[in-house]
Structure 1
């Protein structure tokens, strides 16, 4: 077995068993630092956009629709090995989904990303061949003092109902700037909260986007977010021409 085959086998097993995987240094230190600087400027100067979130006590600041608004971010994604990782986990014909966002200073509580679907009466997210993932690039280390990344309940992507309190301690995913965390949308997770004041210049930044196995469940999810309150960007959404060209060259499906 080649080194690549062994890496792919171990990655699939980790993801299937735990519902998440950490892939180190998918963005170089230089790219991660440049994105931090770019995002700091964007959050301070970018005009307001319908659906953005400003100064929420738990969610912090969120800028939505990365694919349409922030070419430097998605170009960094396409220049990394992320597409190869997604092919390993989701199949050669995996698809990117329209939902994406930049986050700053966000510290949410325990949830599954499928909670909104569940509350709306959907069950397709629990079908065996439904494999929709969140991909997060964190642009700082996830430290015990300042947070900066994700806390998870390993294996909870197989558990329909949560049994723990908000005070439950999970596993701190030991990500650093430029690392990628990929997790099943059924996985229980929350932000790692700081226990000390976060020093200036070490604020939490992250890039989130979504992908899926290329099947009917991905399309059902897109149908769901088209009617979800606050998802105004989905009205007439299309991927930029430059991104469509890159996706064709890379053999990546863009669902809408």
Structure 2
């Protein structure tokens, strides 16, 4: 005979099932849309990214790797190494004073054809986090090594607050992520990243050139209706720290008020299962027009869409699509005349 308060085996199992079916028996599951199920991120990390649109991982990249990237950058500055298709941004006013050194070069963009720098995009510790946002089929594009030069109050290398999706003609946005690694300490003094937490849930805003005094770099667009009083967070980072952030997160960087440099290396990753869009009649239409004007002026190419698709290196699908910049137009023309369709020498893993 059963003791009072106890259940038989079948009855106990039925009672457990009924408790699970009762919504009051357990807290409701929260749906996370900005990360995918994985065994890398903790629940707390996934929720933080869900709420804020960025996630900072400390000491993810080793000092040894960062030193290798730094040395390669210096070789590029000295023109000891040439990077096909890369855009080398310089402060021409400093060349007469410093010559071909890192004191002149502000950025190396689209470094995919440099084997040493491209190692950053293939680091296992980077990719294991990237997959949490993009899924297993990964494309890499829009690579940059930024060397923020001393700028005092000139604002020459101040990047206005913007959303990276403005530059990308593919979707879905939620399967795109930027990996940005500090190559040395980055803080408010030397122009660290500044983010507006939670803005990744907003739509893509109209962008253009900011109305401020001083020089504005080409294609350094910012949000036109940006409110300077918006609450922001300065991401103070040490060497090797890496932040992953959503392409709709509003962010930028300040000026470098120190006498040294502030280096970072970054890459955008996206799911290769995504799709391209036609940017005509969208907030990105003016950007396409500007790219076309640059292409026509520099390379005599009057008809060009914002996207130039190349079959390129990929981690799992042997394909990556590169965004069109002025430098990539030249790369596209060069490669199409030299390489067989679907492959680029030295780019595959």
For 1:26 and 1:64, the matched residues in 2 are separated by 22
Contact 1:67 1:239 in 2 (8 A): no
Bigger mean CA deviation after superposition, 34-43 or 150-159: 34-43
* Other-structure match for 1:192: 254
**Cα displacement string for residues 8-56 of structure 1 (whole angstroms, at most 9, x for unaligned residues):** 4333322222111111212112222332232123223255866432228
Q: Secondary structure at the match of 2:177?
A: strand
2:111 matched to 1:66?
yes
2:111 matched to 1:102?
no
Query: RCO higher in 1 or 2 (8 Å CA, sep ≥ 6)?
Result: 1
State the TM-score, normalized to the length of structure 1. Answer: 0.72
State the TM-score, normalized to the length of structure 2. Answer: 0.55
Matched length:
225
For 1:80 and 1:192, the matched residues in 2 are separated by 30
For 1:159 and 1:133, the matched residues in 2 are separated by 16
Counterpart among 11, 16, 21 of residue 50 in structure 2: 16
Residues 1-256 of structure 1 correspond to what in structure 2 (within 5 A)?
5=39, 7-45=41-79, 46-47=81-82, 51-55=87-91, 61-68=106-113, 70-93=114-137, 95-105=138-148, 106-116=157-167, 125=171, 130-147=174-191, 149-160=192-203, 161=205, 164-166=226-228, 168=230, 170-194=232-256, 196-199=257-260, 203-217=261-275, 219-220=276-277, 224-226=306-308, 228=324, 230=326, 231-232=328-329, 233-235=331-333, 236=335, 240-244=344-348, 246=349
Cα–Cα, structure 1 residues 158 and 72, in superposed 2: closer, same or farther, change >3 Å? same
Task: State the Cα distance separating 1:61 from its structure 2 match.
Answer: 2.3
For 1:104 and 1:6, the matched residues in 2 are separated by 31
Cα–Cα, structure 1 residues 47 and 5, in superposed 2: closer, same or farther, change >3 Å? closer
Would you tell me which structure has more helix in proportion to its own residues?
1
Return the index of the structure with the highest Cα Rg: 2
Task: State the Cα distance separating 1:139 from its structure 2 match.
Answer: 0.4
Unaligned runs of 5+ in 1: 247-256
